[in-house]
Amino acid sequence: MPAPTPQRSAELSAARSARIALITLTAINLLNYLDRYLVAGIVAPLKEHFGASDSDIGLLTSVFLLVYMCASPIFGLLARKASRTLLLGAGVLLWSVATIGSGLVNTMMQLLIARAVVGVGEAAYATVGPALLADHFKPEKRAAMLSIFYAAIPIGTALSYIASGLISGAWGWRAVFLAGGIPGILLGLLCLYLKDPPRGQHDEVAQARAATKWTARHAQLRESLAFLWRSREFLVATSGYALFTFAFGALAVWMPYFLQSVRGWSESASTTLFGIVIVSTGFAGTLGGGFIAKRLGGESHTNMRICTMCMVIAAPAAFVALVSTTDWIIVAALIVSSTFSFATQGPVNAVIINSVGSSLRALAIGASVLVIHLLGDVPSPWIVGTISQSTSASGGGLGLGLTVVPAAMLLAAVAWSFGWRR
């Protein structure tokens, strides 16, 4: 067998580096979301230990996300010139240490501070990771690649619910944070050995598309942000994503506790079953959405049409899950709503990444993270908790608060419909 040519060897090496990066960053993304929803699985123990109200628990999540969204654009700017693998490793290590610290606190204020530091570390990873992956793959493969990457979200979220419920029941809530933080130390160190590919190395191939994008590497911040503001692709995709994040953020924090307090399920049953629903539907939905987007060509208007149709189905299913009192109907409705919700992840993130040139990709991701959390899951857990607390005496309670979920999903469908119709 003849020896491979230098060009072929380089291609094989690049493909191997891309696979390693995808596997590593997908594993970290799984851990990212496992850490993010640890609080949602131990709401009852935290309320009992700290004497916290529903509003306090909602604020705990909102503080984390507030810091996370504010730090994301900063790391997006740093990633334009700094080593992206170094930023990744530092971010993962920081959030892992802070998660371990969350299990050692003695007051609610200390826990709030620890979760805020977690937000800083996660911002580094969530902003830089997708941009680095995008430079490993050609534009036509990014929707499918991102679907694999974002398929870790439901798996990590589900593991968080299941593990937190089981660990808390066996060893207490402090052990939940310790178990969630230790694996990140190893993964953070592994980031330092990943290859940081040249920025935009595959975008020059698609010259017809790249010519319409902003590719100046040394543009001033004001010019860069102005371009994002003028990009209709970016604005429409991010607006719908913010509304979706508002809905999913509230559902992820409060649904297990809703099943316990309103429907009478046990703590272990609610967290375990909700986790199973999230992991199974999320994995199938995320990969399915990416596969459909790839088969239909992966263009931005097509991706946003997929997102619109998914939300049109997910919204009424979420409403049925909230109002039904029959267990099997609740589970079936959650399955439908979650499957179609997760199917939007690959397509919408592909739109955001492809809406700008390579030099602005990390900044675009950072800006979108800022917007979707500022308008999405930063306020929604606190809003739902406040509605629950203020209406519980009149019979509204948590069930009334969670009705904002299907409403926000329908608004997301409206926002994304502007993208594919134009």
What integer pLDDT is reported at residue 345 of this predicted model? 85
Among residues 337, 358, 302, 323, the alpha carbon closest in space to that of 137 is found at: 358
What integer pLDDT is reported at residue 206 of this predicted model? 44
Among residues 121, 118, 125, the alpha carbon closest in space to that of 29 is found at: 125
CA dihedral of 354, 360, 362, 363, whole degrees rounded to 10: -120
Are 208 and 214 spatial neighbours (Cβ–Cβ below 8 Å)? no
What integer pLDDT is reported at residue 8 of this predicted model? 66
Distances, alpha carbon 232 to alpha carbons 226, 310, 312, 356, in Å = 12, 21, 22, 11
Are 23 and 133 spatial neighbours (Cβ–Cβ below 8 Å)? no
Question: How many Å apart are CA 359 and CA 152, to the nearest integer?
Answer: 26
Looking at domain 19-191+223-421, its CATH class is: mainly alpha
Question: How many Å apart are CA 104 and CA 177, to the nearest integer?
Answer: 9
H/E run at residue 262: none
CA dihedral of 6, 10, 15, 20, whole degrees rounded to 10: 130
Question: How many Å apart are CA 378 and CA 352, to the nearest integer?
Answer: 21
pLDDT tens profile 106-161: 888 899 899 889 888 888 877 788 778 877 777 667 767 777 887 787 788 778 87
pLDDT tens profile 45-77: 888 888 877 777 777 777 887 888 788 778 877
What integer pLDDT is reported at residue 221 of this predicted model? 61
The reported pTM is: 0.68
Q: Structure tokens of 86?
A: 């170094």
Among residues 316, 290, 284, 314, the alpha carbon closest in space to that of 303 is found at: 290
Amino acid identity, position 68: Y
Question: How many Å apart are CA 346 and CA 356, to the nearest integer?
Answer: 17
Are 313 and 242 spatial neighbours (Cβ–Cβ below 8 Å)? no
Backbone angles phi, psi at 8, to 5 degrees: -65, -40
What integer pLDDT is reported at residue 247 of this predicted model? 93
pLDDT below 70 — which residues of the chain?
A: 1-11, 139-140, 143, 199-222, 224, 298, 357-359, 362, 395, 420-422
DSSP letters for 314-357? HHHHHHHHHH---HHHHHHHHHHHHHHHHTTHHHHHHHHHHTS-
What integer pLDDT is reported at residue 215 of this predicted model? 46
Exposure string of 293-313, with b = 16+ CB inside 10 Å and e = fewer, is: bbeeebbbebbbbbbbbbbbb
What integer pLDDT is reported at residue 220 of this predicted model? 61
What integer pLDDT is reported at residue 100 of this predicted model? 92
Q: Tokens 């090496």: give the residue.
A: 13
Among residues 349, 371, 65, 402, the alpha carbon closest in space to that of 243 is found at: 371
Among residues 309, 394, 385, 290, the alpha carbon closest in space to that of 347 is found at: 290
Are 37 and 377 spatial neighbours (Cβ–Cβ below 8 Å)? no
Upper half-sphere CA count for residue 82 (Cβ side, 13 Å): 17
Amino acid identity, position 309: M
What integer pLDDT is reported at residue 140 of this predicted model? 66
Are 67 and 116 spatial neighbours (Cβ–Cβ below 8 Å)? yes
Are 157 and 275 spatial neighbours (Cβ–Cβ below 8 Å)? yes
Q: What are the domain boundaries of the chain?
A: 19-191+223-421
What integer pLDDT is reported at residue 347 of this predicted model? 87
Are 322 and 262 spatial neighbours (Cβ–Cβ below 8 Å)? no
Q: Structure tokens of 316?
A: 């009424």
Question: How many Å apart are CA 311 and CA 314, to the nearest integer?
Answer: 5
